[in-house]
Structure 1
């Protein structure tokens, strides 16, 4: 009899363990940058908080380094419901919602503190979420992030806007970039991020632009050893959830997801700028030429008149987001 009780008790424990295992669900969170970047900071913040809130029932599996595709492909996979979550640059988001290009307006943000405050501002988040809901299908914005600000790198020092004249530079494929860099006198070239290293190496382009830590971890300094701190554009990103998953979550699970994503909106940008400073110090110690006396006024003299013009041309959502960001003290 006692043996039978033990068997029944063991069976009950196994059944409970199996039921608990079935309650745990894994979700894919993808991004195209390696670990030790702002994107992986976002992934960790989100994964840890969601696990905590769901008591371990919602587990995030991260896929960094473009394992599941580069950003334009990731967007399509999220829209199709083949990936659950992704963090995507606002510039690449413009491929499915052109008004997202407002986040790439040059010198829209005054400084580091302005970027951090804007990315955490609930009004900015609400405006971005509404923009995507009204202009794209298959996905929703749940958070905002940043990888600092963007700079120009190549083999030539950039001290003022005149140094860009005639230069072939790889830029993100947005109307904003295709307007601003020619206004500076440069020639724009589009290509996937994964092709930038080889294109710099072979001379297909003379320069590219991105955040300092992205430049470091992707080893672009090997083929473009001069980094000029132009700070021309915030390196912003949006965190997405697929509509397919969103519609299948309970009200409680949706709240967990939104709360976890808010960890990214409120904490990731500051950590990204810390990574930028650490990366700059490391690059200098490695012998990379860092030009930190760029005459930004020569750039803003060209860029400022375009702020209202480009935002207005992009559309009403873009104009509202621009005005919200500029109003933040």
Structure 2
């Protein structure tokens, strides 16, 4: 007779392996990550970076299912779903975040960022991130910021050329629903119209609206060039976004899982903005090739002369968090 101890140990080891594999299989959990833009945008870049990093850090136990293209709702609805804990993660523009935390409007201040490099550095800056996280935690409930993101900078598009501030006088322009937009565009002499992103195409087509504004890639992938064939590179505003986790999920995570989530979030803050600007450049090339008129020689000074005095005033009016965030962004070199 062989050594019973040995065969018994082998049997115990086999059972242990079985338990470990079944436990491993049970431990893999899937989480919903939603956004309102299609794939091949800065938002899907963020989703992919986050999903890959979280899978790697959690050794396959935390898996992300992405819901692009407003499948689960437009941004204002997504904010409510995440606050309620009905979805786990979402990437939302900072402008739409202002619907639940008005001070987030600071990220939409016109000409707050000097250029592309300043956007990339500003969004990756740990002090800026910390101030944004604190602002959300102290001004609203049900969700937390885990990353910053970008879809480049915003430009005005229309059926006509916009070369200086005088060219938008009296025009109806679709803006995001923030106090900053409602103050800035009228200061330029335009009229503001609020509407969900999904209605922009038809409104431009029917003439309900004369102008819309967004980043180049968003303009391309949503085919807005079909109804507004002139893209004017005004660069008036950074197209910032925040990535949220629902508080319901956050509270249920272990300390180790929270670390993984934050590290995967940091992956977005560090890498996504640069990739978003790469998308912007390839989108511009594609638009040119299909005959879209891109106006580059814009008298930006005609806009900044009006906008600059508002920067400090608006940040101050929004509140102490907004003022702090503006100062931190301005200090990034």
TM over 0.5: yes
State the 1:200 CA deviation: 0.7
Q: 2:210 corresponds to which residue?
A: 206
Matched, 1:158 2:170: no
Q: 2:3 corresponds to which residue?
A: none
Larger Rg: 2
Q: 2:254 corresponds to which residue?
A: 250
Deviations 1:221-277 (A, max 9, x none): 011100000000000000000000000000000000000100000110000000000
Q: 1:274 corresponds to which residue?
A: 278
Deviations 1:198-236 (A, max 9, x none): 111111101100000000000000111000000000000
| Distance in 1 separating the partners of 2:201 and 2:238 | 21
State the 1:17 CA deviation: 3.7
Deviations 1:122-177 (A, max 9, x none): 00000000000000000000000100000000101000000000000100000000
Q: 1:32 aligns with which of 28, 36, 49?
A: 36
Q: 2:195 corresponds to which residue?
A: 191
| Distance in 2 separating the partners of 1:274 and 1:206 | 28
Q: 2:75 corresponds to which residue?
A: 71
Structure 1 gaps, min length 5: none
Structure 2 gaps, min length 5: 1-7
| Distance in 1 separating the partners of 2:118 and 2:24 | 45
TM-score (normalizing by structure 2):
0.95
Matched, 1:94 2:88: no
Number of aligned residues: 326
State the 1:18 CA deviation: 3.1
State the 1:79 CA deviation: 0.2
Secondary structure, counterpart of 2:69 in structure 1: coil
Q: 1:171 corresponds to which residue?
A: 175
TM-score (normalizing by structure 1):
0.96
| Distance in 2 separating the partners of 1:127 and 1:9 | 51
State the 1:21 CA deviation: 1.6
1:3-14 to structure 2, matched below 5 A, reads none
| Distance in 2 separating the partners of 1:310 and 1:99 | 10
Secondary structure, counterpart of 1:56 in structure 2: coil
Deviating runs (4+, > 4 A) in structure 1? 5-16
State the 1:85 CA deviation: 0.3
Q: 2:50 corresponds to which residue?
A: 46
State the 1:15 CA deviation: 5.1
| Distance in 2 separating the partners of 1:107 and 1:127 | 20
| Distance in 2 separating the partners of 1:161 and 1:213 | 24
Secondary structure, counterpart of 2:92 in structure 1: strand
Q: 2:127 corresponds to which residue?
A: 123
State the 1:44 CA deviation: 0.5
Matched, 1:146 2:153: no
Deviations 1:18-61 (A, max 9, x none): 32221100000000000000000000000000000000000011
Deviations 1:86-106 (A, max 9, x none): 000000000000000000000
Secondary structure, counterpart of 1:199 in structure 2: helix
Matched, 1:222 2:226: yes
Q: 2:295 aligns with which of 275, 291, 298?
A: 291
Q: 2:5 corresponds to which residue?
A: none
State the 1:12 CA deviation: 7.2
| Distance in 2 separating the partners of 1:261 and 1:292 | 34
Distance of aligned partners of 1:12 and 1:195 in 2 relative to their CA distance in 1, 3 Å threshold: same
Secondary structure, counterpart of 1:59 in structure 2: strand
| Distance in 2 separating the partners of 1:289 and 1:295 | 17
